[in-house]
Amino acid sequence: MPGHRILQWVEEHPNELLAAIEDRTEEVIRDLERQERDARRALKRPIPRETYDVPF
C-alpha cells in the first residue's frame, strides 16, 4: 500500500514535511507579491493612443 508508506514517513519526519510546505508557501507568496507589483505598475502606465483610436 503506497499511501500507507507515505503516511508512515510523514509521521516519522513531520519537521521535514513542514519545512517543505513552508518553503513552497513562501515561494507562492513571493510570486503573488511580484504579480501584484507588476499589476500596479501596469495601471500607472499611460494607455497608448492607438489602443483607443477609432480607425476612420
What pLDDT, in 10s, does the model give residues 1-56? Answer: 577 899 999 999 999 999 999 999 999 999 999 999 999 999 998 887 777 777 65
Alpha-carbon distance of 35 to 23, in angstroms, equals 19
Q: What is the pTM of this model?
A: 0.62
The Cα diameter of the chain in Å comes to 72
Alpha-carbon distance of 52 to 37, in angstroms, equals 25
* N- to C-terminal Cα separation, the chain: 70
| Domain range list for the chain | 11-37
Q: Which of 10, 31, 32, 12 is nearest to 21 (CA)?
A: 10
3-state secondary structure (DSSP) of residue 17: helix
